[in-house]
Structure 1
Amino acid sequence: MRYLQKIADKLDLSLENVSYVGESLFAVTADSKKSEEFIKYWDFIARYLEIHGIHSGEGNAIGMAAAKAGLKVYNPSWLGKINSVRQHLDASDRKSQRTQWDILQRKLAYHYRLNKARIISLKDFDFFYS
């Protein structure tokens, strides 16, 4: 929660006014300017959180990006029904066994993305590291 509050402060957002968005299923409908701002802020916020070791809860980043871009978040009633079916299908899906090669590839990909994010964040050092 500490880093969520820090980035909210840096972006002049109040966490009380930010809606959490379920990252497994959502849609963005807006004019092109607001949707472009949303994508830009989502990338920025997600990079900040990843650099500071927060790798889950993408819905927080999505909600903050939507608030910063001026988008309203709606939670239609039918979304809960779709999510319950999706969760049921996820639970009944058999997990395949990962080979050592699969594990190594996953670790390498993670560190590649993290180091890339760190390098990109150097362009705005004060924002990401102060």
Structure 2
Amino acid sequence: MAKSGKVQGSKEEVIKTFEHHARLWEKLPEYTELRWDIFPWPMLNKPSSPEDITYNAIRTYVLSPHYPEKEKPQKDRIKEHIRRWHPDRFETKLLTKVIDADKERVREGAGSVVRSLNDLLTKSNTPSFFD
């Protein structure tokens, strides 16, 4: 389910996911201990492993028509997520708080996120002959 990028649930559930993720991003710096399950992975369906984090699932999330700031250009949405998940920031501010049992899995997951976001940004910069 998470791999396909297909959305499960109603518009209201998708909006609740975005709201929940926004609250988590505000609270994460306050936590002294983090686990895989606490992270607001940029997907509509919560991943259970790094393998569940795919380009299509992240694309579906970031480019969702129900994204909270609909007026924000897609490139800006992508760049905002890249800033959050970029290894320089993520590893110094958040990964240091992850429990040892989850640390490698979270590192791999964050790496998958940032690679997918970078691919998405690259594709958004590539002109299409069909536009």
> When the two structures are superposed, what TM-score results if normalisation uses the length of structure 1?
0.29
> Could you say which structure has the higher helix fraction?
1
Bigger relative contact order, structure 1 or 2, given CA contacts below 8 A and separation 6+?
2
Rg: which structure is higher? 1
> When the two structures are superposed, what TM-score results if normalisation uses the length of structure 2?
0.29
